[in-house]
Chains A and B, each alone.
Chain A
Amino acid sequence: MSQHYPTLLVTVPLLAAFIISAAGWINKRLCFPFAVATLTVAAYSCVGLLFRVLHEGVVHYRLGGWPPPWGIAYYVDQLNGLVLSVISVSALINLIASKRSIEREFPEKIGPFYTLYVLFVTGMLGITVTGDAFNLYVLLEIGSLTGYALIAMGDKDRAPLASLNYLYMGTIGACFYLLGVGYLYIVTGSLNMVDIASILPGLYQSKAVMTAFIICMVGMWIKMAFFPLHGWLPNAYTFAPSASSSLIAPLMTKVMIYVMIRFILTVFTPKFAFSTLAVSDSVVWLAVIAIVMGAIFALAQRDLKKMLTYIIVAEVGYMVGGAWLGNRAGMTGAILHIVNDALMTLCAFLVVGNIVYKVKGYSFEDLKGLFSKMPFTMGAFVIGALSIIGVPPTCGFFSKWYLISGAIQASHYGFVVALLFSSLVNVVLFFRIIEIGYYEPFGDHHGHDHHPEPMAEAPLSMLVPLFIVAAGLVLVGLYTGDIVNHIIQFVIPKGLL
């Protein structure tokens, strides 16, 4: 059984999606338990796989027993073992947390929604687990198409347009990626990542290989919303239904970061990406701009969800910049931040989900008095906020630590300043929210007769998952040392110092 984990985690959700869709016609209530069961199997397989990789080393799996380069090979090392676990666990947590809001927001579309949900997770897991560059494209399209649909189910007036916009941009991004893979195929005659990696070293001076690499990167940057290619993200994530945005926002961009790092480390070599091309300095400067602009745009927002989407834009800058610093600390920070940012974003968007469920809005006006109305949700929000700001012992601090450390070692002080600037802006952003929730509406002066609003907290099925994520932020922070020593350090090639 356990040797089939790599395929289970893709095929089970893929097939289950059909079952859920069929179950939706019989009885809508069946969909949720099916979806939970599916994602539990996926999460179990992912975590099991991670532990197997930790004990036995890299796992190769051939679909249908076809040897590469003809068949599709799954290739699992510490890096995607880690990312797989994060994806499946956060998708499962969000699934449970969003049950109530799905039932309320579109009761008639429960079946299709869960089908899309599970298919989206299939896409994300598949992208991460696969060792085949073309297969990655196919799964990327599965993930993206279901993502467009999940987003379009939101706000009736604005979500379809936002989704369409995302569709255009996403398709362009995927096409770029495919084009790049096409070039690689022309040059190497292979689609298998390990195979390509073994053929490429002799061809690094080839213009076609450089073009392939750069085109692939641009495709991924569009998909991960790397400034200035981020235009599709804020509206798409803001107007999506809560359940979709808290699924897609933590996962989509992070998975694309993973793909980027996979290309730099495995398909190509760090030496090629950082030395031969000699663009890494410019990319880090782009990341600096992404971080600063993300922070500034976030400051300009007047509603919570949109503010969070611009924070994602800035966070993408963190990870791209960290990966392209070209040293070990920066890469460690970027990989660590995939995990941390997924959890932080999940926490923040789950909070938004709870607020929308109770208050039916997420603009700053709707947040007044929230600390009295929803103290537990806001407590989790504060923890998420601290992590995004980067206050120890939450995990956000530790990835920022590695990122800044990497920037100092690379003498890239622009990146150091950008990270600190973004932290300070985050303090402003989040304490602005906290101020509104805590002080307003203003009573008479001095508050002796302060009458707090009665408590109206979200249901337990939403609160418990939120608390698990919030606690996870602190636990992951405390176990940073183990994650780095037992997982991440094996991912980064020895040559990268």
Chain B
Amino acid sequence: METITSIKPLLAVLVSLLVTPILVSSRASNVREGWTFVAATAKFLIVLSMLPTILKGTEIVYTVVEFLPGAAIKFRVDALGMLFAIVSSSLWIVTSAYSIGYMRGLKEHSQTRYFCFFAFALSSTIGVAFSANLLTLYLFYEMLSLATYPLVTHHQDLEARSSGRKYLLYIMGTSIGLALPAMLICYNLAGTLEFSKQGFLAGTASKPLLGLLLFMLIFGFAKAAIMPLHAWLPAAMVAPTPVSALLHAVAVVKVGVFSVVRVLTGVFGTNLLLSLDFSPFIIFVASVTILVGSFIALTQDNLKRLLAFSTIAQLSYIVLGVGLLSPKGMIGGIVHIAMHAFGKITLFFCAGAIFVATGKKNISEMIGIGRRMPVTMAAFFIAALSITGVPPCGGFLSKWYLVLGSLEAHQIAILVVLLFSSLLNACYFMPIVYKAFFCRPEEAMFKNTVQEAPLFCVVPLVVTALISIILLFYPQPFFRLASMMVHSITGT
């Protein structure tokens, strides 16, 4: 594998961090948001400028500082990291626009703090995406937990405090209690933490110890919200909706899943997992999370909580796909990072737009809302289809590959899980859409006059909904990156 050294990954990480002093010192809110856009666009362009190199099969590396042999703060941009970085940096631009509409629409306090920590969180996310080793990944993972804490607890009331506690307890408790010691044991076993194509743990320890390490690393990155460590995610829904949208449907939870994927592919390696027969364990926890998460989602009335449980289930699709260890399953799982991101962020944007326009949070209060906010609810419908995995949306493709992957791995039970879960998705999304548009006149809770949320809210959600559709027809960039990743592992 050819590699070149370039400072670009570091720049991509730092660009949003460097802009925070300007955000703090700017007095006018327009100037502040202007700089947020500048940073977001710059970040996206830097990430995009690396794409051609990556597509050529070259990797970009940059070592910041080495404090132990094999454990440096080091970036390595590969296909998987690239895919994740494109998704998160592009969605930051959209979310920044949406944040302006939402935060100003609700006259939230401490907006400067909000935008600063948002920028900080994005730096950490890109840092995770480009990490070359477990130590760097852990560093940015922890930075992300801390950067998102003030965002989750933005309202600074009692509810925010208890949610913040839960958030830290789950996220930092597991990362310090499980991931950190596991990382140290790995380092002492293998003498390195550098991700490699077939992992670095092969042949270093006995099966029980490796099993324990796998357990500690999968549950240590609790941002992946694998059950039973999922309870922080619904609690974190007290955050302002743009935060929930980007961080809890895209950045934070995807960082968790991304870390788990890195652990499976870069630390253990597929061959080792196959030879030790750990795949059933991963598939089992993922399947349980998918089904239980979907069932709980069915019972929710608060729209954001419903979306949170839906996210928990969808995240495990990614873990499941990679855990199948079959090429198609892995491609499906990795592409699902992107497909789910665009779909779920649209759903959150819709929930936020409804809240800004009407102040409603519960599904039972949204009957007939399609008459008042047709654009928002149309976008909601499209995104719901994408999450369910039905054409004409991108989500169909990733689920298709997951199904193919389960057949390839001869896991018929998983096929059933996938299909049944899709049914459940439809069961909790479609009634919302149906009641929004096709309720009886006497049921309707809203007047027939169209009154949407501010333009800054509506445009972003239309854009992401359209991208969800476009992704069905032009999914090549993401599939290309995912299959490059899988091919480099399997060598086919």
Contact = CB atoms under 8 A, between A and B. Distances in A.
Real binding pair: yes
A484 interface: yes
Given A427-B168, A480-B67, A392 B107 contact: no
A424 B173 contact: yes
Contacts of B184: 401, 404-405, 408
B173 A408 contact: no
Nearest to B176: A423
B164 interface: yes
A424 B138 contact: no
A427 B168 CA distance: 9
Interface in A235-292: none
B83 to A, nearest CB: 25
Nearest to B67: A481
Nearest to A427: B172
A393 interface: yes
A390 B106 CA distance: 38
Interface stretch (A23-31, A106-114, A348-356, A438-446): A438-446
Given A405-B187, A420-B176, A443-B157, A448 B109 contact: yes
A447 B109 contact: yes
B176 A408 contact: no
Contact of B168 (A416, A431, A442): A431
Interface in A354-399: 386, 389-393, 398
Contacts of B156: 438-439, 443, 447, 450
B180 A420 contact: yes
A478 B107 CA distance: 40
A448 B355 CA distance: 15
Interface string A290-306: 00000000000000000
Nearest to A409: B188
Contacts of B172: 424, 427
Interface string B140-153: 00110010001001
A408 B67 contact: no
A420 B155 CA distance: 31
A103 interface: no
A490 interface: no
Contacts of A453: none
A294 to B, nearest CB: 17
A177 B143 CA distance: 45
Task: Report the interface size class on chain A.
Answer: 35 or more
Nearest to A484: B67
Interface string B400-437: 00000000000000000000000000000000000000
B65 A392 contact: no
A155 interface: no
Given A423-B176, A424-B177, A450-B156, A398 B67 contact: yes
A482 to B, nearest CB: 8
Nearest to A402: B68
Contacts of B106: 448
Contacts of A401: 68, 184
A454 B67 CA distance: 42
Contacts of A424: 172-173, 176-177
Given A408-B184, A447-B157, A427 B67 contact: no
Most B CB contacts (10 A, CB to CB) among A405, A409, A439, A480 go to A439
A110 to B, nearest CB: 37
B139 A392 contact: yes
B157 A442 contact: yes
B461 to A, nearest CB: 23
A447 B155 contact: yes
B160 A439 contact: yes
B185 interface: yes
A423 B142 CA distance: 13
B1 interface: no
A132 B42 CA distance: 61
A51 interface: no
Most buried by A among B64, B150, B188: B188
Interface centre among B110, B153, B181 (most CB of A within 10 A): B181
Contact of B181 (A416, A447, A479): A416
A481 B68 contact: yes
Interface string B169-204: 000110011001100110110000000000000000
B406 to A, nearest CB: 38
B278 to A, nearest CB: 23
Contact of A386 (B65, B109, B135, B146): B146
Given A405-B187, A481-B66, A481-B67, A439 B161 contact: yes
Interface in A429-477: 431, 435, 438-439, 442-443, 445-450, 452
A423 B168 CA distance: 13
A393 B131 CA distance: 14
A392 B145 CA distance: 12
Nearest to A390: B176
A450 B156 CA distance: 9
Given A386-B146, A447-B109, A447-B154, 20 more contacts: A392-B135, A392-B139, A393-B73, A404-B180, A404-B184, A405-B184, A408-B185, A420-B176, A420-B180, A423-B176, A431-B165, A439-B158, A439-B161, A442-B157, A445-B158, A448-B107, A448-B108, A478-B65, A480-B67, A484-B67
18 contacts: A393-B73, A404-B180, A405-B187, A408-B188, A424-B172, A427-B176, A435-B164, A439-B160, A442-B157, A445-B157, A446-B157, A447-B108, A447-B155, A447-B157, A478-B64, A478-B67, A480-B67, A481-B68
Interface of A: 386, 389-393, 398, 401, 404-405, 408-409, 416, 420, 423-424, 427, 431, 435, 438-439, 442-443, 445-450, 452, 478-481, 484
The 6 closest A-B pairs by CB, nearest first: A481-B67, A392-B139, A450-B109, A480-B67, A447-B155, A447-B156
